[in-house]
Amino acid sequence: MNLVNFRFDTDADGIATLTWDMPERSMNVITPQVMEELNQVVDKVASDEAIKGCVIVSGKEAFSGGADLTMLQGLRDLYVKLAKEQGEQIAMQRFFDESRKLSQLYRKLETCGKPFAAAIHGVCLGGAFELALSCQLRVVSDDASTRVGLPEIKVGLFPGAGGTQRVSRLMQTGDALQMMFKGDQIKALPARNMGLVHAVLPRDQIVAAAKEWLKANPQAKQPWEDPKFKLPSNKVHSPAGMQIWPPANAIYRRETNDNYPAARAILSAVYEGLQLPMDLALKVESRYFAKILRTKEAASMIRSLFVSMQELNKGARRPADVPASKLKKVGVVGAGFMGAGIAYVTANAGIEVVLVDRDIEAAEKGKAYSHKLVTDQITKGRAKTADRDALLARIKASADYADLKGCDLIVEAVFEDPKVKAEVIAKVEAVVGPKTIFGSNTSTLPITGLAEHSERPKNFIGIHFFSPVEKMLLVEIIMAKKTGKKALAMALDFVRAIRKTPIVVNDVRGFYANRCVGNYIREGHLMLMEGVPPAMIEAAGKQAGMPVGPLSLNDEVAVDLAYKVLKATKAQLGEGAVDPAQEKLLNEMVEKHGRLGRKNRKGFYDYPEAGPKRLWPGLADLVSNHIHPEKVDMEELKHRLLVTQALEAAKTYEEGVVTDPREADVGSIIGFGFAPYSGGTLSYIDNMGAAAFVKLCESLAKKHGERFKPNRLLKRMAKTGESFYGSAEKKAAA
């Protein structure tokens, strides 16, 4: 055998060990070469009489992250090329054959006549877990890092190498569907309890245990090879099956609003596959897989949520000529809502934190938030008391600015008041060294203006977190006029250290994310004032693919905050910059009715002590006109809610606020949940085509006003047929 990515040894008992250890990669992934080598191994094991069975193990710290998604991107490209050159039919056949090679390889392994075992430590996900599922035995280590799962749905795909068929033959149908819909990573014990793996053992015993088992079970077969095999949830067309499929369909609709073709394909592949013998079932799965792989949803999600996200995380925007900084000590000034969260994520990354507020009580209160967060994890069994002690020991609460001495970076999160911020900047700069970088977490004040209060504007930058800090993955890095590349590099190193995803934007009111999401909320407000029933507004938001409706979202961020931002915009930019209908609504909500949002349990919704939130009935009295539900065009509502955000993104791009489509897209999905199936705000436009998007904008502008008018850039793109990604690629190549 000619193996590069594996090592293969056979012991005296005839049990082979296949060690997967790809050179020059930190993580094993499935590539065409890996598939080719695995094929050789299966042939060898099957044909060599001296070999009784084979255990597959990783030579790295984890088993494998699954298939190399760029390989799948390559397959799509092959299809497009062949279709152009040789026609649709030939392209489709070739694409189908290629896209099911992995599935066939695993089937060959499973039926080669000799048993295989997977000994898993660390993550084993996607295509790698499908490999494990085709082995007759799966033993996993009891280590906290060990996780198995099929997360394909998160990038618009589904398990297409036998996963849908094997999981649904191992578990109750409902559980199997849920596991694949959610794409969760499952820890060792729950995986065993769900029937996904056979045994959980200490790391140093998994290989020996697998070998023993192979020795004792040379004839082992998969359960579904037994002619008497019974499906865990009985036959599809049986009374038991009828308990499963109608609700499964309903749950699918509720959870996805039919926006995710891959989720629908899981449902179909399992439903059809369970009625067939394994080989045919796998073929059905392959048919769906080939279809899904060609969808624009899969292409966009793979691009934004996998490829681009990885590139941004690895520092795509980092100035390459600045050496990496290892942050040792970070100061957080302002220990309120945001500062407390920033202190937590920083300490959690192993960095020393000095958390400063006006008095020690306020600083300690901010630190107590970290105590609470880790305690919650301890209660859930996800952390130990020692972890909490260690994390808290890294946070020094203080009211003395002198304690900030020696910090590599300061993150300022004090009141949103330029005067307070100016004072804080001066106080901080009086104690820190000349190399310390100062990052402000302001959400509305221009960074360039704040930097004027700094003696070292080169070191001054925006580091904008989203709330709740410990959950939200996005951080906007804002370049002020004079920000230097060392500040940018340090800010990006910090974001990387705390394992969040950065986008680098230029300094304009609202930066990027808040501008787009602010439009989403505003459109909800305006619909309400037009007389659209509030429940339909909320449903339209969710059906369009947003995580929550615009009114719910406004309740979360606070209605008075929206009003405050609107007033500030008006004061700065004049009457014309705000919508009078929105102003009237917010004024009445806040000033007249004291409805501030979830924080005072009174917003667009009521939040009763017991039971779920309900839309506030008083909303009806704020509106003079009421549109009958049957007269409401839901498709138009959905378009309005997405177009207003995508159009704003296109404007930020034209203005040079965002400069890279990858950042606009990734930022929109992880920052404010912009319909993930679309691939993000700019992919939404690219997928529709600029010409169609401009047409849609123009028709909405005619009906609903100037705010939908397409900008110059889009009109030009509509004429020339350009796309955001096409232009960006051209720019990069030039």
Terminal CA-CA length for the chain: 44
Task: Rule CB under 6 A: choose which of 416, 583, 654, 698 binds ligand NAD.
Answer: 416
State in angstroms the smallest separation of the CB of 442 from ligand NAD: 4
State in angstroms the smallest separation of the CB of 577 from ligand NAD: 20
By beta carbon distance, the residue nearest ligand NAD is 336
Sign of the dihedral through C-alpha 415, 420, 426, 428: negative
How far apart (Å, rounded) are the C-alpha atoms in residues 80 and 98?
Answer: 14
State in angstroms the smallest separation of the CB of 366 from ligand NAD: 7
Which residues have C-beta within 8 Å of that of residue 334, sequence separation ≥ 6? 356, 357, 412, 413, 414, 415, 424, 441
Contact yes or no for 332/354 (Cβ under 8 A): yes
Tokens of 268: 């179909």
Residue 452 burial (C-beta neighbours within 10 Å; 0-12, 13-18, 19+): middle
Tokens of 625: 């006109």
Residue 336 found at the interface with ligand NAD (CB under 6 A): yes
Pairing of strands 605-606, 123-125: unpaired
**Only segment of 100-108, 156-164, 334-342, 574-582 that touches ligand NAD (CB under 6 A):** 334-342
State in angstroms the smallest separation of the CB of 573 from ligand NAD: 19
Name residues contacting ligand NAD, limited to 360-379 (CB under 6 A): 362
Contact yes or no for 420/319 (Cβ under 8 A): no
Contact yes or no for 103/275 (Cβ under 8 A): no
Residue 357 found at the interface with ligand NAD (CB under 6 A): yes
Nearer residue to ligand NAD within complex by CB, 43 or 417:
417
State in angstroms the smallest separation of the CB of 336 from ligand NAD: 2
**Only segment of 308-316, 351-359, 375-383, 542-550 that touches ligand NAD (CB under 6 A):** 351-359
Task: Rule CB under 6 A: choose which of 108, 358, 570, 613 binds ligand NAD.
Answer: 358
**Only segment of 53-61, 262-270, 412-420, 711-719 that touches ligand NAD (CB under 6 A):** 412-420
Q: What is residue 571's three-state secondary structure?
A: helix
Nearer residue to ligand NAD within complex by CB, 125 or 338:
338
State in angstroms the smallest separation of the CB of 662 from ligand NAD: 23
Distance of CA 45 to the CA centre of its chain: 40
Nearer residue to ligand NAD within complex by CB, 335 or 675:
335
Task: Rule CB under 6 A: choose which of 161, 424, 646, 647 binds ligand NAD.
Answer: 424
190-194 contacts, C-beta under 8 A, 24 or more apart: 191/140, 191/148, 192/140
State in angstroms the smallest separation of the CB of 607 from ligand NAD: 18
Nearer residue to ligand NAD within complex by CB, 441 or 644:
441
- Residue 111: how many other CB atoms lie within 10 Å: 15
Tokens of 382: 């996800």
Backbone angles phi, psi at 564, to 5 degrees: -65, -45
Contact yes or no for 166/146 (Cβ under 8 A): no
Number of residues forming the site for ligand NAD (CB under 6 A): 23
Residue 151 found at the interface with ligand NAD (CB under 6 A): no
238-260 burial, b if ≥16 CB within 10 A, otherwise e?
A: eeebeebbeebeeebeeebbebb
State in angstroms the smallest separation of the CB of 606 from ligand NAD: 22
How far apart (Å, rounded) are the C-alpha atoms in residues 320 and 655?
Answer: 25
State in angstroms the smallest separation of the CB of 493 from ligand NAD: 21
Amino acid 531 reads G
430-459 footprint of ligand NAD as x/- string (CB under 6 A):
-----------xxx----------------
**Only segment of 42-50, 127-135, 277-285, 330-338 that touches ligand NAD (CB under 6 A):** 330-338
Task: Rule CB under 6 A: choose which of 109, 176, 356, 528 binds ligand NAD.
Answer: 356
Task: Rule CB under 6 A: choose which of 156, 339, 524, 679 binds ligand NAD.
Answer: 339
DSSP annotation of 381: T
Which contiguous run of DSSP H or E holds residue 119?
Answer: strand 116-120
Task: Rule CB under 6 A: choose which of 129, 245, 465, 674 binds ligand NAD.
Answer: 465
Task: Rule CB under 6 A: choose which of 274, 333, 355, 658 binds ligand NAD.
Answer: 333
Amino acid 671 reads G
Task: Rule CB under 6 A: choose which of 282, 301, 338, 505 binds ligand NAD.
Answer: 338
State in angstroms the smallest separation of the CB of 40 from ligand NAD: 54
Residue 62 found at the interface with ligand NAD (CB under 6 A): no
Task: Rule CB under 6 A: choose which of 33, 415, 626, 721 binds ligand NAD.
Answer: 415
Nearer residue to ligand NAD within complex by CB, 184 or 416:
416
Nearer residue to ligand NAD within complex by CB, 413 or 527:
413
Residue 346 found at the interface with ligand NAD (CB under 6 A): no
Which contiguous run of DSSP H or E holds residue 355?
Answer: strand 352-356
334-372 burial, b if ≥16 CB within 10 A, otherwise e?
A: bbeebbbbbbbbbbbbebbbbbbbeeeebbbbbbebbee
Q: Which residue has the tokens 């502008």?
A: 701
Residues binding ligand NAD (CB under 6 A) = 333-339, 356-358, 362, 413-416, 420, 423-424, 441-443, 465, 467
